[in-house]
Structure 1
Amino acid sequence: FQKQWIALLTPLFLLPILLIWPSQMMSCGYVMLIMIIFWCTQVVPLTITALLPIVLLPLFGITKTGEVASQYIKNTNTVILGGLIVAQAIETTGLHKRIAVHVILFVGPNIRWLMLGFQLTTALISMCIVNTAAVAMMLPILTAVTSELHPKEPENKIEMKNMEIKVDNDTDKVFSKNKISKEARATEIALTLSVVNAANIGGLSTLTGTSPNLILKHFVDDWFISRGFHESPLNFTSWLLYGVPISAMNIVILWVWFQLFYMGPRMMLGIDKSNTEDQDNRIMKSMRNEKEKMGSISFCEKIVISLFTILIVSWFLRSPGFMPGWEIFFRHGYVGTATPPILIVFLLFIIPMHYPVRLRDGNIITILDWRSVQKNMPWGVVFLMGGGFAIGEASVKTGLSTYLGTKLIILGQLPETLMIYLICFVIGMLTEFASNVAVCTMLMPIVAAMATEMGYSPLYLMLPVGVTSSLAFMLPVSNPPNALGFEFAQLSIKDMVYSGSVLKVLTIIPVTLMTQTVTYRYFD
């Protein structure tokens, strides 16, 4: 009954806030603290906690029910929804597997280069689709490669189709610990964490690559538009100047650190030996067999590649900044980021899967069908973001974000570079214990107010905070990719903490560096 006691006692324990300081601002703070505690302790699923603003904000007279509910389907949520459905199309056609097999054939079977190949492939995929989908696409390929590296234990092979993923702390274990060799286990851990961490890092490259980026975009747009600007300076193109260098530097850091940690001479895990020639041949033969099984690229794969390319180009050219975008051909200010992905989704439900066309029950088989999309769609992320938007909007409306921002202004006495690094480090640690989406949505209004009070553009703090909220490597509860890898390889907490703690410290350095350069010169 531990969770039930937390759910009951938390509101009672925080009740003095309302009794001592009766105001709308403190009522909003009361709701925010309840949600933070529930998110950290996961007394109920994260998504259910995210729905609490619909109940509590109207009861405290902060926001009307209709206004709160409207926060759950906004432009940002719709972009995520479209991205998730497009990711399903990539997985349905098997395109992800084709990409992964070709990368492995290109980099070769050496474990060091395999690790780099997995990291680069995952990072590139996560640039364009949701991180969780990118990880889910790569893990089955990882399983095949691991089984070829250590073929003497075929019974330990793990099949993704038998796996059930939950983000709860008390997730039922689907696999038992496999009694495999020390070398095989170390390989499995290293490659799994390579994929998971590369997805978290790769998603930083594009504005649509990960949920915190879109949350950041939402709050930046709100800040500028509420002050009379037509739009904010943050768009798909301008983000590339900031996100791509951070992602690229951090992928290098990830690879170098994992070489030292998992393959260094002092490392207890024994994966530092090179593969034998026989192992190399087996791995390459396995990948060539996979390539032969897939055959030539199919009609549906060509369609998905084409539509995906159109989607990326349309995002890039909608309002590139250095020239007029295609949005000028439509009513001014009406076409947003969510329009292209929903159009692509519509086409995926229209275009046939095969050519010549095949029929099922008298109907044309299309690339996507609603029954499978509905079954596989992680709807929770949409509501989780909506809950964060709702409480974030309430904190701005009641003045809570401004109040907290003024209290944090003392950090402005530190040197700028140190201030940015410390803020990022604190935010980064918070995201390890709570959902990165929740942390990002809670803190965006606060750091915007803090930057304004200190005399900076809000982007000076919002950009690094938004990016850092994705740099969660130490705990499975931080984000769905971490939970997915944790369950897949049956990792222990120490497996993630040992490698992730140093990675956390190192990956904040490029964020600080780019904030002190790009935000001054481009976003000032």
Structure 2
Amino acid sequence: RHQLHRRFALSILRRFGSQSHRVLAGVMVATFLLSLWMSNTATAVMMLPLTLSLIRHLPSHDDLLERNILLGMAWGANLGGIGTLIGTPPNLVYAAFRQQNLGEEMYFLDWSTHIFPIAVLLLVGAYLLLRRNLPKVALTEVEWPVPEPWTSGEKRVAIIFALTATAWMTRPWLQALFPSLLLTDTWVGMLGALMLFVLRDRSHEPLLSWQDAQKIEWGILLLFGGGMSLAAGMQASGWLESLAASSHQGWPPTLWILVFTLLGVWTTELFSNMALVSGMLPIALAVSIAQGMPFDQLAIPLTVGASCAFMLPMATPPNAIVFASGKIRIPDMARAGFSMNVLATLVIWLAVVYLY
């Protein structure tokens, strides 16, 4: 509402310069950083007009440069989503399933400590893939909007955001200092949202009105709850035990990790990543018990891989948003995305093997 995200994105893009490879890097970094804290869908929707305005300043029409900058925006949104626990819904599905079935809470800082470096490594790899054969041209006559003074609303939203993010990252220490508070990531987020409703800007308007809140995609909560219900039903029916008993006992853990990485990265090209994670986490739990493996060794590659599908528009919302611009054909997206899918599979698999 207060366009703080747009101010942030423009400040990054201005610093990267006008050379083609710098523009690509700026778009990817800005989208990645925003997607750490916003939904990747909202980030892609916000960044698309900015990216298209940059493309209009190309000195000559170049399909490769135009396509790669747009793909860089979509890929940056996808990869930013895996960097934090709140970046994309599959991460939250995993955390809720882990808490409900194992009684083990996934802390915000624990997730970021392990997964954020993977996201950064994939972002660098994505940039290098898209930069190949990129023409070395500079954008012409780019007129960046002159930054206006910060409004009271922007300042207060920025402060609330900083406090909320800090509380998420330091919650283990806050709980140790104040054990009676019973802090959870959910309560921290709810408190931040409540402050947005209660505090007002200088015009005495709330920082977040109910009309704005109604625009949030609340339907995703139904999908989230449906996934949890499906998992509970599969456990209660005994189906998971049967699956675990029939799993391949002779496979080594590294092969099982690869299988679930492949399921996450490649199956998501055709299915909703949230639905896939909701349906496959119970299977990951059953297999991990049968094989005597830590649950996270199978659940992490599945969950992270489900946000790393880059070949088809239906794979992730950012892919669909970029495709809807009409400037990318499916064959072009598939060719570029195939290399990125292979890279994501290898990086996630090796990272989980050595980290978990």
Matches of 2:123 and 2:328, distance apart in 1: 22
AA aligned opposite 2:279 = M
Q: Which residue pairs with 1:242 in the alignment?
A: 114
**Corresponding residue for residue 482 of structure 1:** 319
**Which string of whole-angstrom CA distances, capped at 9 and with x for unpartnered residues, describes residues 76-116 of structure 1?**
xxxxxxxxxxxxxxxx1111221122212211011111111
Q: 2:164 corresponds to which residue?
A: 311
State the one-letter code of the partner of 2:158: I
Q: Figure out how many residues of one structure are paired with residues of the other and give that number.
A: 356
Indicate which of 266, 286, 291 corresponds to 1:449.
286
- For the residues of structure 1 that align with 2:311 and 2:291, how far apart are their CA atoms? 32
Deviation of 1:415 after TM superposition, in Å, equals 4.4
2:210 equivalent in structure 1: 370
Number of the residue aligned with 1:351:
199
- Asked if 1:426 is matched to 2:297, the reply is no
- Change in 2 beyond 3 A, CA 1:224/1:423: closer
Aligned match for 1:141, one of 47, 50, 56: 50
Q: In the superposition, relative to structure 1, how do residues 449 and 251 fare at CA in structure 2: closer, same or farther (>3 Å)?
A: same
Structure 2 partner of 1:397: 236
Deviation at 1:414, TM superposition (A): 3.9
Q: What residue is the counterpart of 1:24 in the other structure?
A: none
Partner of 1:209, secondary structure, is: coil
Amino acid at match of 2:288: A
Aligned residue in 2 for 1:215:
93
Alignment of 1:74-223 (within 5 A): 92-150=1-59, 181=61, 183=62, 185-223=63-101
Distance 1:316 1:512 in 2: 26
Q: What displacement does 1:340 show?
A: 1.4
Structure 1 position 417 matched with structure 2 position 249: no
Pair 476,327 (structure 1): closer, same or farther in 2 beyond 3 Å: farther
How far apart are 1:377 and its partner, in Å? 1.6
Any idea what SS the aligned residue of 1:325 has? helix
SS at match of 1:128: coil
Task: State the distance in 2 between where 1:496 and 1:140 align.
Answer: 19
Q: Output the amino acid matched with 1:238.
A: D
CA distance in 1, matches of 2:243, 2:66: 44
The answer to whether structure 1 residue 336 and structure 2 residue 184 are counterparts is: yes
Separation in structure 2 between the aligned mates of residue 135 and residue 348 of structure 1, nearest angstrom: 23
In the alignment, what sits opposite 2:343?
A: 506
Q: 1 CA distance for matches of 2:161 and 2:325? A: 28
Structure 2: distance between partners of 1:328 and 1:390: 35
Q: Which has the higher contact order (CA 8 A, sep 6+)?
A: 1
Structure 2 counterpart of 1:329, which letter? Answer: F
Contact 1:402-1:446 at 8 Å conserved across structures: no
Offset at residue 329 of structure 1 (A): 2.3
**8 Å CA contact retained: 2:175, 2:183:** no
Question: For residue 128 of structure 2, what is the aligned residue in structure 1?
Answer: 256
**Greater gyration radius:** 1
**CA–CA distance in structure 2, aligned partners of residues 340 and 327 of structure 1:** 16
The change in CA–CA distance for 1:405 and 1:431 in structure 2 (over 3 A counts) is farther
Establish whether residue 437 from structure 1 lines up as the match of residue 274 from structure 2.
yes
Question: Aligned Cα RMSD in Å?
Answer: 2.0
Shift in Å, 1:490? 4.7
Q: Secondary structure at the match of 2:149?
A: coil
**Residue identity matched to 2:109:** T
Instruction: Measure, in 2, the Cα distance between the counterparts of 1:341 and 1:216.
Output: 18
SS in 1 for 2:198: coil
In 2, the alpha carbon distance for the partners of 1:336 and 1:215 equals: 16
Q: Displacement, 1:327?
A: 6.6
Any conservation in 2 of the 1:425–1:505 contact (CA below 8 Å)?
A: no
Aligned equivalent of 1:28: none
CA contact (8 A) 1:96 1:138 kept: no
Q: Which moved more, 1:439-448 or 1:239-248?
A: 239-248
Identity %: 26
- Where structure 1 has 5 or more consecutive residues not aligned to the other structure, the ranges are 1-91, 153-180, 226-230, 265-271, 359-363, 520-524
CA distance in 2, matches of 1:401, 1:216: 17
| Mapped partners of 1:328, 1:457: distance in 2 | 30
CA distance in 1, matches of 2:245, 2:82: 29
Matching residue's letter, 1:275: V
Q: Encode CA deviations 1:140-199: one digit per residue, 9 max, x unaligned.
A: 21122111225x8xxxxxxxxxxxxxxxxxxxxxxxxxxxx4x1x433321221111111
Structure 1 residue 330: deviation in Å? 5.1
Letter in 2 for 1:348: L
Q: CA deviation at 1:257?
A: 1.0
Contact 1:241 1:518 in 2 (8 A): no
Structure 1 letter corresponding to 2:241: T
Normalising by structure 2, report the TM-score.
0.93
Q: Post-superposition shift, 1:442?
A: 0.3
The residue type paired with residue 38 of structure 2 is I
Deviation at 1:328, TM superposition (A): 5.2
Task: State the partner residue of 1:301.
Answer: 154
